[in-house]
Amino acid sequence: MSKPIDYDAPRRPAVEVEVNSLEELKARGAASQSARVDPDEVEAAENFELPGADLSGEELTVAVVPMQPDEFRCARCFLVHHRSQLAAQPDGREVCRDCS
C-alpha cells in the first residue's frame, strides 16, 4: 500500500527556494531552451488546416436515399428511424424511443 500524498505540503523546503536567485533561474531556463525545431512538428504544422479554411474549390458528393416505407421521421429530433424505434404517437405525431 502506498503512502498517502499531502498535496498541500510544499514541494521543496523553503531553504532551497531562497538559495535559487532570480538570475540563476533565468540562466537555467535559457540554457534548457533550444532553438532547434523538431521536423515532425514542422510537417504537422504544414498539414494542419484551420477551421473556416476556404473550401470553395471542394466538391461534396453524397448519395441521398429517400425515406423508405419502413422508416419514419421523429417529430422531436427530426431524425429518420426504422419503425422498430417508434415509441408513441401522441396527437398523431411519431416519436422515437430516444425522445419519448
Question: What are the residue ranges spanned by the domains of the chain?
Answer: 14-47
What pLDDT sits at residue 80?
95
* Residue pLDDT, tens place only, 54-89: 777 888 888 989 999 999 999 999 999 999 999 977
Q: Which residue has the higher pLDDT, 95 or 20?
A: 95
Q: How far apart are CA 100 and CA 88, in angstroms?
A: 7
C-alpha distance from residue 53 to each of 57, 86, 87 (Å) = 11, 40, 42
Alpha helices in 5-75 (DSSP H): 14-19, 22-32, 39-47
All three cell numbers of 83:
419503425
Report the chain's mean pLDDT, rounded to a whole number. 78
What pLDDT sits at residue 32?
61
